Structure 1
Amino acid sequence: MGEQLRGTGAGPAEQRYDAVVVGSGVGGLVTAGYLAADGRRVLVLEQHDVAGGNAHVFRRRRRYEFDVGTHYLGDCGPDGLLPSVLSGLGVAGRVRFRPLDNVGGFDRIITPTALVDVPAGWDRYRDRLAAALPAEADAVHRFVDLATAVAGAGRASLLGTPMVELFRRSPQTMRWNRRTLGQALDHCGLSARGRTLLAAQAGNYGAMPDDVGLAEHVTMMDHYLRGAYYPEGGGQALVAAFVEALEAYGGELRTRCEARRILIEKGRATGVELTDGTRVLAPLVVSNADYRSTVLDLCGGEEAFPADLVARTRAATMRDAVVAVYVALDTELPDLPNANIWWHATDDMEGAHAEMLDHYARTGTLDRIPQLAFSFASVKDAGSPAVCPPGHSNFQLMTILPSGEGFWGTGGGPLAGGPYRRRPAYLARKREVTELVLDAAEQVLGPFRDRITHVETATPLTNERYIRASGGTPYGMATWGAGRQRPDVRTEVEGLYVVGQNTRHGSGMAGVAAGGMAAVSHILGRPLLSEVFAGTVLGDPARLPRREAGWDPLRVSRGRARQHAKGLARIG
């Protein structure tokens, strides 16, 4: 626990810690856990009821548990990224990863003229793409050769090889780090159909090929091609393991506790002020909050940062946002693979997306959903008592749609304090989108509407409300100044670091975990990620709590002080 300090006059009491982490997404929890394992007194602040950010779950009807953002994880074999991060904290044995069908295919891509099952391994992936695109086989080989070179350089950089050394080894490969996926597809001579099959999983980062860096795309693919997995018990089980490590090593998680501002004096961070006026003093502050909110709101913009950085941040654009429709059925769906499905209504993904946006711009309406991603929790975590009752199905349908307030018929989103949820225009748009998504899903799965026991739609405004993400996107910034650069974890303010989906380490579970490790490495002055890959363990498993019968990761993720507070949704 932090040191309690007496307040001055009638002001609220102050508290002192070695570090304060604002936000409890996976990036924040990784940072906090390792700082606590190093012996620091760490406080994590979370405005929501539970920790986890986009990795948290919610429950409905005492029968169904839905994952918000954990659909599958890559590189979770014995020497994988997330297992190594968990191992370094001493909690590796507390999270089990269930493999998807890494031989038959963990992703199924469906277009009107093709079906490609994506297996683990670049060579097998190349062979299946070439078989689906026989007239473009040479182009596929050129692209995969380029992709593996860029992905290999990225992996080496992640594990500590200096960029200058990577440029010395292969300057031509490293130049591709500044180019887009679209430029690489053009360079290799791929058709619109070929581009669609190679970029079909664009929903993993929320951008079309011309709007995402090649390095980000191939890093994402390399991550999954090392094997795709799902955490047993869902994303909250992973979050709970990080919370257990934090608390076991002397750290503290406070949920329902919101930061008002980050305190900065003479160019260095000195703590955080909460919305109730309490001041938490610390020489180290890590913001896992939205980057734009961190710079412009929590830190006061020009009060803390150079004017050019503030201007860049104000002008930043965000990645596409996601609409997710959560569905439960009172029956099992037949013949489903243990895989995600990426369905595209045409062989030209980019053209169909542009046509959708053009139709909306001209008419103010949608007439179709051009692409849809399916994630089947009841297949990936089969038999889990929390996912759904035996004989039922639990799955999620996701598509990329505009996030603007105009599209959603609101006068202001949650970050601006706008009361959007009951506005007729918002509800009408939400109903329209839900029906179009279900129509598209039934083209793939067959009719299922008459077996629905629960259906619920989350919009970009839903995500903004719970995660406080600018634009309601889970993918972070699209542009931040020139090109597609993103901020580093270090900031211009001494003692202030940023982690999460907006940093240069990227979005997704692996990206934010790597960003958290990078932040801790800077703070502790040691290459922690390469160390934990080599087997270093900072945490002490003997200090971890025993898990009793009925252990509930959602309860654990509320923090020790609020585990038994009212309002926890239950299963059964």
Structure 2
Amino acid sequence: MGEQWDAVVIGAGLGGLTTAACLAAAGRRVLVVERHDMAGGNATVFRRHHQGAEYEFDVGVHYIGECQPGGLFPVILGALGVGDRIAFRPLDPDGFDTVVLPGVELHVPAGWDAYTERLLDAVPGDRAAVERCMQILRDVAKETRDRYVPGVSTPTLDAWEGRTVAELFDECELSPTARALIDHWNGLYAGPPSRATVTMHAGIINHYMQGAFYPEGGGQVIPARLVQVIEALGGEVRTLAPVQRVMVTDRRVTGVELADGTVVETGLVVSNADHRRTVMHLVGPEHWDPASVRFAEQATMTLGLAVVYVVVDVDLCAGMPNTNYHVFAGTDVEAVYAALDAGRLPDDDWAYVALASRKDPDNPHLCPPGHTNFQIMTLAPRGFEYWGVETGPADGGRYRRDEVYRERKHELTERMLDAAERVLGPFREHIVHLETATPLTHQRYTHASGGTSYGYEHSPEQSGSNRPAHRTEIEGLWLTGANTVSGHGIAGAMAGGVVCAGQILGRHLLIEMMLGTSLVDPATIPPDGDDFDPVLASRGARLRAKRAH
């Protein structure tokens, strides 16, 4: 007989951890198994040490919305008993994003009215078109939430649901510059206007309209707090524990088998792993309905991301607003995606520049005093062929020493440094640390199909209820994470985790949380201690104990 748990969650991303924490709060004994040596998924950090200096870099948490009092994140974390253990630092409310186009610069403020006025100032010749477009987006965002209130009509959402951003721009007759400015958000879901839905675009904008924030101490604090909840309630987060298969008999889950041969018996499994890999490998296509297999095989993934991690030995933050930079070399967003979909870099670069040292200046792990830690992110060409690789690391492919891979990575890195110097000024001669992660890097750690962070593309055919539901046709098997109906990103993952747990428990957990229900008494979570380190906390109890000896 193997181990026995009430529930097993595969994958310690934020979706899996949030689901596990909610189940544990309801009295379930929960085991979370994670192949990496640290919980968090896209919310992890990594550290580098060089000549006595320490550098820390966020993998995926760069800025998030809805962190104001009563916002999504304080509500979820508060209900789980750790709301007072995470502080969110606001970015500049008058311009948390700075969009740089040829001849135009836009500082994106919090608030729909202020944002619309800022757009009108940037493109005064598009006044009527911009006003109409922004009103539609605002109404769609509001009505998306109103839909859950009985008796409330949603005429704008009904008219635009399932339609694309390109259709909206065309109908409003926006100029190329106005299109590019309003579409600067596309990098947050990695889809071109011709395939991105209006509902996704409106939702992303609305997410930040109460301000943009960053967790004090770095993105790792969020999974660390969730791990604390799970462990305090009798659960376990077991890292370095890859899953070999989900055990299914007569379309019913009976347990999971780990790669080391350990069998864990359970009647409830929640997969936070990549959906395609869950269907085709962990469970096996023979156990699914044909439609589920077809979707997993044929659905389009979003583009992967490449990230350049930089530390310079000068202070670039002095006198600088707390803002992110979105740098576009042109206004034709469709052309950028067409090139990337064709497997090549576009002629016009797009880069997102985030200064960690400006967002979290008191984090001692970022870099030494007087230095600046920042990241440059961009979309990467579709597929691994651009990198000279036929097989990804999740399927045994090797790439890190491949000559073509190194050449392509160097080319992309140089182009990203050029883009960053457009807004930060010359800094190359001050670089003391430089490394680049590609979609292959991402897949090596997460096993995500295509090396993407965002899961399935949010096209009309793959959005909303067209995405995999939390509950599957296999009894006892549930899904959470970026590929599901709840969507991607930090917000999608955590809200989806609550919704998934609620459906398992037969409760409207997210609504309960919004109404002030507390699931966990904060006093049940052990105090941190003076040496609390979110990285160490995210290792899980077994690995922490092993490393302590």
- Counterpart amino acid of residue 111 in structure 2: G
2:63 maps to 72
Q: Deviations over 1:172-208 (max 9, x none)?
A: 4223121111111112111221110001121111111
1:55-134 matches, within 5 Å, as 55-61=43-49, 62-102=53-93, 104-134=94-124
User: Please, which of 22, 25, 44 is the counterpart of residue 13 of structure 2?
Assistant: 25
| Contact in 1 for aligned 2:144/2:157 (Cα 8 Å) | no
Name the CA distance, whole Å, in 1 between partners of 2:503 and 2:337: 41
User: Please, which of 501, 524, 540 is the counterpart of residue 521 of structure 2?
Assistant: 540
Name the CA distance, whole Å, in 2 between partners of 1:121 and 1:106: 11
| Contact in 2 for aligned 1:150/1:173 (Cα 8 Å) | yes
Displacement of 1:352 in angstroms is: 4.4
Give RMSD over aligned pairs.
1.8
| Contact in 1 for aligned 2:482/2:488 (Cα 8 Å) | yes
| Contact in 1 for aligned 2:324/2:355 (Cα 8 Å) | yes
Displacement of 1:336 in angstroms is: 2.6
1:222-301 matches, within 5 Å, as 222-301=206-285
Displacement of 1:481 in angstroms is: 9.8
- Counterpart amino acid of residue 76 in structure 1: C
Name the CA distance, whole Å, in 1 between partners of 2:376 and 2:447: 22
**Structure 1's 567 and 175: CA in aligned 2 closer, same or farther, altered over 3 A?**
farther
Displacement of 1:411 in angstroms is: 2.6
1:305-344 matches, within 5 Å, as 305-333=288-316, 334-344=318-328
Name the CA distance, whole Å, in 2 between partners of 1:423 and 1:117: 41
Name the CA distance, whole Å, in 2 between partners of 1:460 and 1:90: 35
Residue segments in structure 2 that go unaligned for 5+ positions in a row: none
Establish whether residue 461 from structure 1 lines up as the match of residue 461 from structure 2.
Answer: no
Q: Deviations over 1:74-116 (max 9, x none)?
A: 01011000111101101100100000111x2111111012111
* Secondary structure class of the residue paired with 1:273: strand
1:3 maps to none
Displacement of 1:161 in angstroms is: 3.3
| Contact in 1 for aligned 2:307/2:436 (Cα 8 Å) | yes
Q: Deviations over 1:207-237 (max 9, x none)?
A: 1111211111111110111211000001101
1:214 maps to 198
Name the CA distance, whole Å, in 2 between partners of 1:483 and 1:435: 35
| Contact in 2 for aligned 1:369/1:440 (Cα 8 Å) | no
**Structure 1's 367 and 265: CA in aligned 2 closer, same or farther, altered over 3 A?**
closer
| Contact in 2 for aligned 1:200/1:349 (Cα 8 Å) | no
Name the CA distance, whole Å, in 2 between partners of 1:149 and 1:388: 43
Name the CA distance, whole Å, in 1 between partners of 2:212 and 2:423: 22
| Contact in 2 for aligned 1:383/1:390 (Cα 8 Å) | no
Name the CA distance, whole Å, in 1 between partners of 2:346 and 2:18: 43
Name the CA distance, whole Å, in 2 between partners of 1:335 and 1:112: 24
**Structure 1's 113 and 31: CA in aligned 2 closer, same or farther, altered over 3 A?**
same
User: Please, which of 380, 386, 389 is the counterpart of residue 365 of structure 2?
Assistant: 386
Name the CA distance, whole Å, in 2 between partners of 1:137 and 1:218: 19
- Counterpart amino acid of residue 129 in structure 1: L
- Counterpart amino acid of residue 409 in structure 1: G
Name the CA distance, whole Å, in 2 between partners of 1:443 and 1:194: 21
Displacement of 1:562 in angstroms is: 1.1
**Structure 1's 172 and 539: CA in aligned 2 closer, same or farther, altered over 3 A?**
same
**Structure 1's 432 and 246: CA in aligned 2 closer, same or farther, altered over 3 A?**
same
The sequence identity of aligned pairs, in percent, is 46
* Secondary structure class of the residue paired with 2:363: coil
Establish whether residue 477 from structure 1 lines up as the match of residue 467 from structure 2.
Answer: no
Q: Deviations over 1:468-500 (max 9, x none)?
A: 110011011127994543111111112111111
1:400 maps to 379
1:506-517 matches, within 5 Å, as 506-517=487-498
- Counterpart amino acid of residue 563 in structure 1: R
Displacement of 1:308 in angstroms is: 2.2
Residue segments in structure 1 that go unaligned for 5+ positions in a row: 1-6, 8-13
| Contact in 1 for aligned 2:340/2:382 (Cα 8 Å) | no
Displacement of 1:36 in angstroms is: 0.5
**Structure 1's 368 and 185: CA in aligned 2 closer, same or farther, altered over 3 A?**
closer
1:10 maps to none
Displacement of 1:542 in angstroms is: 1.2
**What is the aligned length?**
543
* Secondary structure class of the residue paired with 1:264: strand
Name the CA distance, whole Å, in 2 between partners of 1:492 and 1:518: 18
1:11 maps to none
Displacement of 1:528 in angstroms is: 0.8
Displacement of 1:281 in angstroms is: 1.0
Tell me the TM-score normalized by structure 2: 0.96
